[in-house]
């Protein structure tokens, strides 16, 4: 994890912000997918 943080510091701040935004978005998508699947299973 520390290695990744060092790499992010070397990149331009905009790139780092884009990467972190992508990570947050993918995490949110996974959570939404899990909730959606749980709801579908409840209904059926």
pLDDT of res. 6 = 77
pLDDT of res. 1 = 62
Number of independent structural domains in the chain: 1
pLDDT of res. 8 = 62
pLDDT of res. 22 = 92
Q: What residue numbers bound the domain in which 39 lies?
A: 2-43
Residues sharing a CB contact under 8 Å with residue 20, sequence separation 6 or more, in sequence order: 8
Residue whose structure tokens are 């699947």: 37
- Tell me: the pLDDT tens digits for 1-44? 677 777 767 778 888 888 889 999 999 999 999 999 999 988 86
pLDDT of res. 43 = 82
pLDDT of res. 42 = 86
Residues sharing a CB contact under 8 Å with residue 19, sequence separation 6 or more, in sequence order: 8, 11
């Amino acid at each position: 994890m520390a290695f990744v943080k060092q790499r992010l510091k070397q990149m331009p701040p905009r790139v780092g912000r884009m990467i972190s935004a992508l990570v947050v978005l993918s995490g949110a998508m996974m959570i939404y997918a899990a909730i959606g699947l749980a709801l579908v299973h409840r209904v059926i």
